[in-house]
Structure 1
Amino acid sequence: MSTTPIIESVRRLVAQAVETARTDGVVRLETMPDIQVEHPGNPEHGDFSTNLPLRLARATRINPLELAQALVARTPESDPIAQVEAAPPGFINFRLKDTWLQDQVEEVRRAGAAFGNLDIGGGRKTMVEFVSVNPTGPVHVGHTRGAVLGSALANVLEAAGYQVTRSPMPSNGYMGDYISDLAKEIALAEGERFLSQGEEQAIRGIGDLSREKMVALIRQDLSNIGVEFDNWFSERTLFTTGEYDQALEQLREQGYLSQREDALWFNSTMLGDEKDNVVVRSSGEPTYFASDIAYHHNKFIGRGYDSVVNIWGADHQGHVPRMKAAVEGLGINPDRLTILIAQMVTLKRGTEVVRASKRTGDFVTLSELADEVGGDACRFFFLSRTPSTQMEFDLELAKEESSENPVYYVQYAHARNAGILNLARERNIDWSRGDVSLLTHPSELALVRHMLRLPELVQQMAETLEPHHLAHFTMELATAFHGFYENCRVISANPEDADVSLARLKLVESAQIVFRRSLELMGMSAPERM
């Protein structure tokens, strides 16, 4: 089931008004302007607002307020809209009908778990790639922000109608301390098997087993915070299948490769990069960049993805221009590749910065973080800031059971919601015949308004690739629900309130659907008791 955001209906109304004004000769515009519709900061100004008259004032040479009035007069009637008005200095404000808002409670109930789904993706194939699975040690906190961001973004794109593949970034792998430790364990446990082999074969066999064990550990750590992958890709296959050779040959045919200084260079300056880059060293060994080029050839050409989103750590910022240049060199529109950078995370306990693991004295692992604060807190906190900004993760706040902790605040709202419905079931109350037209209290309608923002939020996040808005949305939804709970008694012992109670139970049920859907998109659980 696909939902159309109401904000799109408002945009269409504004577009129709502008077109009518053009036909009437009121405004002279060669092309339809970009129409921006927002939610006013002050609820007294309505549910939606556009500043289009202000933006068109210079082009049309019409006073913004007069232009707003002219467009209001040409705005067609629409079932959801109760009022359209011009406001100084040049805004057009829209107010939704209370009756339409009431009816949306039933629409949410009918949509159920599909509420918020859109079809703007049209089934296009998209890969979201995140977390560099380098089998040299467990996932650390530095990886985790990108993991949460990527997994939530994949959920959002699926909800928006894209065919999404989640994939970890492959890595060549090298013998780090953790691999060495694992190799020793394997040698002790299975040493007899390797003693009968030659040295080179034994070392290779122990290394392979070590990597397999480490990847299994990485899978489990990520799974513990709800991060799963649809596809695990081995970088070795690029060389065994000939994809690496195909990619370099394509660059060579286009004149983007040159041999100099005993190495093979990708002439990325021809495509706007600041400097050329080595792809094959003088030893004949390919660089990591050469593998990246081959891998993107595999994604776009070999497997036919329409778009790819890579989520990299802050230390890879400088690699973005050359990777975009390489994609263009392969004959692919570089706009089809989006690279998001997840900035650094600082762990804190109150005012104290946590710099190392208590267990090993080394970096803090994802496993340690999840053990201490829980997977849901990991996901919410990492999603609560735009990835382009550095963030502080307060471990003490993440464990606090109070409204100060946003994770607790949001999940408690859902648990309170579930508690109401469970109590109604225990009392054998059938709210299916509730009359939603009885939902007239401002707190009831405010809750409905917040619920209805989810579809437009899915659209916005899919277009901007910014899933962090989910954290803010769930906080606002929780605030609206808590306000409703405090102001509107749902289950009343007074027989005179029975009909209103049934209507409010329908509202609570629809709110639970939106809570669950939002938490699901974030990859979090929706507890019924806390």
Structure 2
Amino acid sequence: MNPDVLADLVRDVAQDVLTRRGLDVSALPADGVVERPRNPEHGDYATNIALRTAKKAGVNPRELGTWLAEELATREGIASAEIAGPGFINLQLAADAQGAIVGEVLAAGASYGTGDELAGTRMNLEFVSANPTGPIHLGGTRWAAVGDALGRVLEARGAEVTREYYINDAGAQIDHFAASLIAAATGGPTPENGYGGAYIGEIAKRVVDAEPGILDLSDAERHQAFRRAGVALMLEEMRSSLHEFGTDFDVWFSELSLHEAGAVEDSVRQLKDNGSLYESDGAWWLRSTEQGDDKDRVVIKSDGSPAYVAGDIAYLRDKRARGFDRCIYMLGADHHGYTVRLKAVAAAFGDDPSVVEVLIGQMVNLIRGGEPVRMSKRAGTIVTLEDFVDAVGVDAARYSLVRSSVDSTLDIDLDLVSSRTNENPVFYVQYAHARLASLARGAADLGIVAGDDYGLLEHPREGDLIRTLGEFGEVVRSAAELREPHRVARYLEQLAGAYHKFYDSCRVLPQGDEDVTDLHRARLALCAATRQVLAAGLALLGVGAPERM
């Protein structure tokens, strides 16, 4: 009996009890009535449904809890139901009912943990979107891992997800990039506001090698040629780096294309016509304060040129025109103001602002030997995606970036994530999977197959492991709903911990001449279910599930 089934049973019993006693059934909570107690002595599960219902139903919480506990104790699959404190009910499941979770996992196969609550929802998930002026740095790498994992989690719960990279190829930073390339190609100094670093010289040389006559062009033509070729080469490197990292995009969308196609002008004109923009001091302003912004934002400057937000306006309009129900932006820590700004844009087009979601990610710091590893794109000491992967590998890099909430600054100890110890979270989880794979090979060598007498799984460590397996679907669901894929990583660490403790306490395969029993077979099934869920969870994070380590 998994937690969802148990929660339904608790609600059904509560409804029956309230009905029989003439109490208000509408007082029952809609969700969240069953949870794992922190203290295992309090049972397999606990429910606070009596506490949450009693006041509205006009009855004492402990009295209601006593009625519910008495009724629950009579239901199939419940070994005991005991009232505790002011009205909590501690539930102990029968071994066969609890063990049925193992059968559910194995029967569901790859679909275990998936759901359909997001079915029919088209989501545009935009992430990374680093300027094509240099290699992807560590902050962008965090989004590459988290964004891809979030896309997988959303798809697991039924959403149709388009992963999109917004190429910022229309602003002044691209002109600075082109000027830096020209300076490197001609042996001149890095221009003011330009880009340094060895990669600039490498890109400049590749441009000249591909177009030998480029330096003979006029200044304006040369600038445009370096601009075009440099961005193309940089994007080529970015695509390759991200692909090697396990992150691929469905759409690479050019900001410049919006300007060249007249989409920016059309979008601005539409907002002028519907009154969402107003003129003041020769400029045109978006009424973003109506959505909680601290000030209205300039869209068209007094000199007639578009501000950066003008491109954002056209871009959101384009996304909605492509039929996306949700537009999720994953932005860096320096983009906090974009949340209300983009919602204001949605409202200006007559949309519910909730179609826009903005996730803000904090910085990443690398630590080695107790000292920070410095990075600065302009100084040329940038820590890139490739640097990080070279140092720890793709799996460790992705896992370490995903396992923490993006709301907090992340410090990564390179020595730790490179280690093969249980203190390294990714090693701890992957080792559990490899250990299970080894056990499966051993069982195959002995000719032992899994059995389904799950009622034999009565050991406390077996119960802990089974109950943890039963939580996987809810973890994935909440990770999708809250846009927090790190929940999957933390769950996997709990599952690995429950498995390692089980392995140390419960022998799965017989020793020596010991006969094979149904308990051995049931435990083998439990191991197979655990291996399946570990692999599924790691896949949601884009991390491998090794057979050997």
TM-score (norm 2): 0.88
Q: Is the 8 A contact 2:27 2:53 kept in 1?
A: no
Matched, 1:16 2:6: no
Cα 1:392–1:122 shift into 2, 3 Å: same
**Are the counterparts in 1 of residues 96 and 456 from structure 2 also a CA contact under 8 Å?**
no
1:190 is aligned to 2:210: yes
Taking structure 1 as reference, are residues 514 and 273 closer, same or farther at Cα in structure 2, changes over 3 Å only? same
Label 1:297 to 1:47 Cα distance change in 2 as closer, same or farther (>3 A): farther
Q: Is the CA contact 1:16–1:76 (under 8 Å) kept in the aligned structure 2? A: no
Aligned to 1:6: 2
Counterpart Cα distance in 2 of 1:101 and 1:114: 20
Distance 1:10 1:505, change over 3 A: closer
- Cα distance, 1:191–1:250 mapped onto 2, change above 3 Å: closer
Distance in 2 (CA, whole Å) between partners of 1:260 and 1:408 is 59
Cα distance in 2, alignment partners of residues 269 and 104 from structure 1: 51
Q: 1:426-445 alignment to 2 at 5 Å?
A: 427=445, 429-432=447-450, 435-445=453-463
Q: Secondary structure at the match of 2:438?
A: helix
Q: Provide the residue aligned with 2:296 in structure 1.
A: 276
Matching of residues 105-124 of structure 1 within 5 Å: 105-124=102-121
Specify the code of the residue in structure 2 equivalent to 1:356: M
Q: How much has 1:75 moved relative to structure 2? A: 5.7
Equivalent residue, structure 2, for 1:45? 42
> What is the count of residue pairs matched by the alignment?
524
Cα contact 1:6–1:456 (8 A) shared by 2: no
Q: 1:216 to 1:404 in 2, by over 3 A?
A: same
Deviations 1:210-234 (A, max 9, x none): 1121112112222233222122111
* Structure 1 residue matching 2:52: 3-state secondary structure: helix
Residues 133 and 218, structure 1, Cα contact 8 Å, conserved in 2: no
CA distance in 1, matches of 2:204, 2:217: 16
Q: Which amino acid aligns with 1:374?
A: G
SS of residue matched to 1:496: coil
CA distance in structure 2 between the partners assigned to 1:502 and 1:29 by the alignment:
45
1:453 and 2:450 correspond: no
- Cα 1:188–1:241, aligned 2, differ >3 Å: closer, same or farther? closer
d(CA) in 1 for partners of 2:207, 2:252: 27
- Report the secondary structure of 1:497's partner residue: coil
C-alpha deviations, 1:420-446, integer Å up to 9, x for none? 112233x25140556444433332232
Residue 344 of structure 1 corresponds to 363
What is the deviation of 1:496?
2.0
CA distance in 2, matches of 1:204, 1:337: 35
Which residues in structure 2 correspond to 1:319-398 (within 5 Å)?
Answer: 319-356=338-375, 362-398=381-417
CA distance in 1 between partners of 2:395 and 2:245 (Å)? 7
Post-superposition shift, 1:329?
Answer: 1.2
Residue in structure 1 matched with residue 127 of structure 2 by the alignment: 130
> Which residue, out of 217, 229, 232, partners 1:212?
232
Q: Is contact 2:153–2:476 with CA below 8 Å preserved after alignment? A: yes
Q: Which amino acid aligns with 1:211?
A: V
The Cα shift of 1:365 comes to: 1.1
Percent pairwise identity:
37
Residue 511 to residue 183, structure 1, CA distance change in 2 (3 Å): closer
Counterpart for residue 401 of structure 1: 420
Residues 501-524 of structure 1 deviation map (CA, whole Å, 9 limit, x = unaligned): 333222222211111001001110
Aligned-partner Cα distance in 2 for 1:329–1:279: 13
Q: For residues 209-264 of structure 1, what are the alpha-carbon distances to aligned partners after superposition, in whole Å with 9 as ceiling and x for unaligned?
A: 21121112112222233222122111223234443234223322321112222222
Task: Find the aligned partners of 1:468 and 1:337 in 2 and give their Cα distance.
Answer: 22
Match of 2:191 in 1: none
User: Which residue of structure 2 lines up, in the alignment, with residue 36 of structure 1?
Assistant: 32
Q: Secondary structure at the match of 1:233?
A: strand
Of 235-244 and 107-116, more deviation after overlay is shown by: 235-244
Query: Which has the higher mean CA deviation after the structures are superposed, 434-443 or 447-456?
Result: 434-443
The one of 228, 234, 240 equivalent to 2:254 is: 234
Offset, 1:484 = 1.7
Judged with a 3 Å threshold, the aligned counterparts in structure 2 of structure 1 residues 22 and 505 are, in CA distance, closer, same or farther, namely closer
- Structure 2 spans left out of the alignment, 5+ residues: 178-194
Tell which deviates more after alignment, 219-228 or 331-340: 219-228
Partner of 1:262: 282
Cα drift, residue 384 of structure 1: 2.1
1:250-300 Cα deviation digits (max 9, x unpaired): 322321112222222112223432211111123332222111111111112
> CA offset at residue 369 of structure 1?
0.9
Residues 103, 452 of structure 2: 8 Å contact kept: no
AA aligned to 2:396 is A
Match of 1:306 in 2: 325
Question: How far, CA to CA, are the matches of 2:388 and 2:82 in structure 1?
Answer: 52
Q: 1:14 to 1:247 in 2, by over 3 A?
A: farther
Query: Per the alignment, do residues 159 and 197 of structure 1 end up closer, same or farther by CA in structure 2, a change over 3 Å counting?
Result: same
1:14·1:35 contact (CA, 8 Å) conserved in 2? no
> Is residue 48–residue 94 contact of structure 1 (8 Å, CA) maintained in 2?
yes
Q: Distance in 2 between matches of 1:436 and 1:56?
A: 35
* Change in 2 beyond 3 A, CA 1:522/1:499: same
The alignment status of 1:200 with 2:220, answered yes or no, reads yes
1:186 deviation in Å?
3.3
Task: Show structure 1 runs of 5+ residues with no match.
Answer: none
1:11 and 1:104 map into 2 onto residues whose CA distance is: 14
Residue 153 of structure 1 and its aligned partner are, at CA, apart by: 1.0
Find the counterpart in structure 1 of residue 491 from structure 2: 473
Post-superposition offset of 1:26: 4.8
- Asked whether the 8 Å contact 1:40–1:47 carries over to 2, the reply is yes
Q: Which range is displaced more, 161-170 or 219-228?
A: 219-228
CA RMSD of aligned residues (A): 2.7
Instruction: Judge conservation of contact 1:167–1:231 (CA < 8 Å) in 2.
Output: yes
What residue number does 1:251 align with? 271
